[in-house]
Structure 1
């Protein structure tokens, strides 16, 4: 029993630290994206000169913000859900439903990791046109966020199985 609680505490610590890193990154990326778009608008309409790489960088930042933001929302339990039926279930059935939902989520996160890695490998030799970055770096957010989501899902599953609820 002590060993399971210890492993749970380690996994929870990893999940919290990952989420802290993700949320810091989200702030930097969101602020950077807003600054880049603002500079592009100012440059285009006031200076009559376009910053050629701003649209591509903003697009990739938005993709990273979306995937990493989903992992933070999942960690905090802020993802959208319809729980009308779930709220009316008896506790044992509710626990079973939670385990099924977490298992299905983990299956999806596994698909994100597997196919995200395969796609990143597939585009490994391509270069983005404006930024000249390898595209595998740009698409690595899919397996990265899948792995982060998997860690969060393991913590949520362990909490629901132990009956501790969200934390």
Structure 2
């Protein structure tokens, strides 16, 4: 493996650590916010309006960042039943299928995140959310909408690392059931 491939894998690994830690933090925060909502609703009979909205936004960020970590480890839904790390035509076919499937999903999402009809950035998904504010929290919705292009960019970084080095090896407990 050459220096560029090792650097690409190292960068993907650093991004993965940040995404996984952030996904865990978002999940813990979401559970805490829902706990506050439950106590306030059933204990105090006066739930704050912001808890449900914040929990939803934490779920979006946590879910998308967690999905990137799953993708990096090869725990995403299988595009093919071929081993992408195999040598020969089988491995190459699996890597091509992976690249095509990911590109078909991610490239249009990225395009419309940054550009609207006629390559107009002012009509893009992000710019439309820049002009909106959440009702419960009063924050600009671009902070929530940014989760989608962030997810796509991280997936592309992980895709490049998977192509040159394969998915991260996961530690599966011996008692884990095989669902494949």
Aligned to 1:57: 54
Task: Find the counterpart in structure 2 of residue 33 from structure 1.
Answer: 30
Which consecutive unaligned segments of at least 5 residues does structure 1 have? 160-164
Aligned length: 156
Deviations 1:23-67 (A, max 9, x none): 111111111000000110011101111111001111111111221
Question: Does structure 1 residue 97 correspond to structure 2 residue 97?
Answer: no
* TM-score, length basis structure 2: 0.79
In the superposition, the TM-score normalised over structure 1's length comes to 0.85
* 2:135 paired with 1:129: yes
Alignment check: 8 A CA contact 1:113 1:144 kept:
no
* Unpaired segments ≥5 residues, structure 2: 115-123, 169-180
User: 1:72 and 2:63 equivalent?
Assistant: no
Q: CA deviation at 1:82?
A: 6.3
| Contact residue 127 and residue 134 of structure 1 kept, 8 A | yes
Instruction: Verify the 8 A CA contact 2:23 2:63 in the aligned structure 1.
Output: no
